[in-house]
Structure 1
């Protein structure tokens, strides 16, 4: 007869409980081997676990702020490209137009006016630039385009030219159209919001406005110059045509210079965001180093513990298998 006694359900249950506990510890050890971090911070750190949790939250807060800053920086950089594109070649073309008017060179005037039409399309396209699904020049209405198409604008300007009995009336009507809050530009052309785009927090309590809007004065002046150059050139027999073309070309040059100011403003915001991103990166690195010091698990220690626990599991499984094979017949043999 064998010397071991008949296994009881209590012994079997205790063995299964022990195996479950060992499996849990082995799984924690596997996690520690992979992550290099303590799996159960509360059990390991005790009363200091709160400090580790505060560090983890601080790291998450910094990472979120850094991600927001980087997204905003990307928008500002694309906006800079669009602002540059909106005036590409405009000043040169306007200068050529003034020179052609001075020489009474009709062919060159037509070429410059045609170029102004192309530049109007390009400018409106630039101010309708989107980035990550957001319109960059629509203020707080980031879900919709900034400007209507060029033909809509040209139709409105053509009507103003046709209705004005003289140059003074025409210029007054153009002033109302582009500059009055209830004028045609505000109601027909600018499609964005009245407010600015949401600002970005680049540090605790420090918000930065990095946006530009398509209804800013420099933008309106640019579109006015380009569109009036196109329409004024359409009526070659109109007595005030030369005056209108001259004012349009001068307005194009002035608007191009004013847009440089907007680009400088956006550029200053870019510099602040770059500096903030660098600062946040350094802060995240420092916090991460401190957190790692408190929560890191030595990989060799974790691997050794895992190997030991797996050996215990193997032994426990072997004992369980042997117990499960026992029967009353085996017991009384």
Structure 2
């Protein structure tokens, strides 16, 4: 039986993008939540909670972007001109955050606020840029022949602004629930309250996106609401509802890890819903996975390398999270 290498690579890149979104998402969320911290000590704990893993989280962005360039060169050639501005803004935001991680703790106390503001702005910029890029892709990219045919600001629309706000709220929820898991005492209670508010906002944004996205394209609407397709897509909103109940019940209890896991579940289900809306297009509305794929010989050659590289990344990432699995306390680090 022949293996559909293009589909295999599409799944691998989708998995890499998802891992980047949820892993780098919670440390971007912590930066977004930085102004809500009540003291410098709390900000130290927030940054220490992600300091051992933040750079490893961004490995998945490199893998996803590099994989897109090598495996789906046509998609890369169309998406990059369409999304130059938000992608460059995202990269500058991520670079700025990396500088803050290195310099904040070395700054004298009276100047540390500069790096605190920088950490917030870098995180917010990266999250907004990712949301704008996502919205631009979902609403469709104008293509003529094999090239981008739109304008410089096609990525900036009411829909993409809405998705940018949704991404910021979602990342902030991940950050708040991560801090519930990693902190204790009054700080944990503080972010438990923030997570309740952000969870409600997140559900509201999921509802808005779920209703707006089918309105963009009749094919997407048919996939979600026409019979018999609705029988296959109905479990998605039901799982969102179940995970929302789990999130809020765990926030009302003393469980530390469950809110974060429920938030990850919400991201996974909504990511699957996005895949249902877009499949088989990699550049909506016209370029499919197979249209954009490199020759099978190239896909097979790259797949051999990925079979070695991806398990290594998973292994060292898992080991890092295991080593730093404890609570973070002021002036103590991990316990």
- TM-score, structure 1 normalization: 0.34
**Larger gyration radius, structure 1 or structure 2:** 1
Q: 1 or 2 for the larger relative contact order (CA 8 Å, sep ≥6)?
A: 1
- TM-score, structure 2 normalization: 0.34
